[in-house]
Structure 1
Amino acid sequence: MEVKLVAMQGEEFTIEIGYFDTIFKIKEKIEKYRGIPVSAQTLIFNGNAMIDERNTEFYEILHRSRMKLIVDDKSKICSALLRKKAMLEFTLDDKRVCFDAFLTSSISHLKLRIHVLLRIQANQLGLFFMGNEMMDHQVLGDYAVSDFSEINVQIVKPFSSETNHRG
C-alpha cells in the first residue's frame, strides 16, 4: 500500500509499505530511498509518535494514509556513529530489561521503548547513567555509553501546575 510522508520542511513523498510492516521496517525503507538514518527519524500518525516495534495494523494505517516525518537535527553526525549500536541494560527496582539502541537514539525515544516493555508512562520515567539524569533532548552518544552500560530507571512524577495554585 502507498503512504504519504510529510517532512517538517514541507517536503512530501510517497513510499510503498506492507500491510503488516513494523514502524522500524518503514524507517528502514525511508533510509534506503531518502538517505535519512533510521535513528534520526520519528514518525507521527494521528498526532502520536509511533513506536518501532509496533506495526501498521496496530496504528490502523491504511492505503494513502499520511504520516509526519520528523528528522532529528543530530542527523549530521558522522555516518560511523549513526551505525553504532550498544546493548543496554535498564533496571527499575527488581525489573531488568535489555535492548540495543543506536548511540544517536534520543533519551525520549528510549523512554518510549521502556514504556512499551514495562507499561509505565514515558513522562513518568527518569533515566540515570553514572548518577546523572539523562535529558530527553540528548542522545545516548552524549553520555559516552558503551555496550552493556547499565542505565537506572526511576519513576518521577511529572510537574503539575495544580500544586502551585492552592487557594
Structure 2
Amino acid sequence: MVLLCVAGGEITPLIEVFYFDTVLNLKEMIQDALGVEIGRQTLVYDERALLDDEEIRHCIFGQDPATVTLRVAPLPEGTKIAVQLESSLKQGSMRTRETDSVADLRNKIERRWGLRNCSISLFHLDIQMNEDLPLSAYYVVDGAKIDVQVTFLEEGR
C-alpha cells in the first residue's frame, strides 16, 4: 500500500492505493472523495504529469505519504453549477459558478433565504470555507453539498 496526500486545493485528502493500482484507479478514488470528474483531473508528481495507465509502483514516490498535486481543468467561462445547500433551517439548491467566491455564495444564500442579523459559515467536505477564496479552491463542483451554518446575532449588537 502507498499513502498519498492529494494537494492542490484547500482540502488535502489522504488516499491509500495498492502498488498495482493505476493512476486512473487513483483518479477514481479522488472522484469518490472530492467529486471532481476524472476527465477534469491532472495528477502531477515531481513536476511530471502522471499517465492514466501507469501503475502506482512505477511512479517512484519518495516519502510516505507522498504528495501528488491535483490540477482541475476549469469549466468553460460562465458555466453554472448546481450546489445542494443544507442547514438546520432549510434545504435547497442554488446555481453558482466555480469561480465565484465563498462570500458571493454566502451573499446569495442570505438574499434568497431572507436571512438577516445572522452570521453564516459555509462548509464543504467538513472544511469551513474561507470567504476570500473561490469555490473551486474547495473542489465545489456540480452537485456538491454545502453545509450552511447559521448563527443568529442578538439584537442591539
TM-score class, shorter: 0.3 to 0.5
Answer 1 or 2: higher relative contact order, Cα 8 Å, separation at least 6: 2
The TM-score with structure 1 as length reference comes to 0.43
TM-score normalized by structure 2? Answer: 0.46
CA radius of gyration, larger in: 2
